[in-house]
Amino acid sequence: MIKEFIQKLLKAELTEFLNYEKYDPKGKNSGNSRNGYYTRSFKTKYGNIQDLKVPRDRNGEFKTVLFEPYQRCDNWLEKMIINMYAKGLSTRDIAETIEKMYGTKYSASSVSNLTDVALEELNKWHQRKFKRRYNVLYTDGMSVKLRREYVDNESVYVIIGIDEEGYREILDFYIDPHDALHHHLNEYFA
């Protein structure tokens, strides 16, 4: 059922891209046309889809928004790996859990590489330049139990900016094990 649904979405997407229905005379001299399909397997959280028919166009310009070229797995698995890592599981434990649950082999080094990429993206986000000027800044925090070597209460703070049009944006967040908000704010606004 999932496979058929995805294939219908792909066909509809190609029709929208070409701007005419299959067998429509409008497409006769349009400069581009349908060109069959290629098959691929694709892992989703609902199971592995074998022989998924992905349509293509004659000019090779069609790109689906459902997945990237050569992508074989939905992002749910990567998100799950990052969540398990954030909860304190070792890369080896994560790899073993995924293999037991889904039959997909991930080495501990693959898990480590994936979490490194996620951490790198997070660091880029923390260091980004702001696109607006903010008239109001406020921060809020809450205490949560986090597991590192042991479970302990730590404060999680979020800094939000409001621009002159009332648009709110999360500017930053951070985890403070010592509940020392003033130290971070001094660094942040220095």
- Cβ-based neighbour number of residue 118 at 10 Å: 16
DSSP assignment of 7-52 equals HHHHHHHHHHHHTS-TT-GGGTTSS--EEEEEEEEEEETTEEEEEE
Task: Give the span between the Cα atoms of 46 and 143, in whole angstroms.
Answer: 35
Tokens of 115: 């979490």
Residue range 106-164, pLDDT digits in tens: 777 777 777 777 778 778 888 888 878 889 988 888 887 776 667 777 888 888 889 88
Tell me what pLDDT residue 67 has.
Answer: 81
Cα angle at 16 between 12 and 19, to 5 degrees? Answer: 135
Task: Give the span between the Cα atoms of 84 and 78, in whole angstroms.
Answer: 10
pTM: 0.48
Domain limits of the chain? 2-57, 76-126, 134-189
Percentage of residues in the chain having pLDDT higher than 90:
5
- Cβ-based neighbour number of residue 123 at 10 Å: 10
- Cβ-based neighbour number of residue 110 at 10 Å: 15
Pick from 37, 66, 65, 35: which is nearest to 52 by CA? 37
- The pLDDT mean for the chain works out to 80
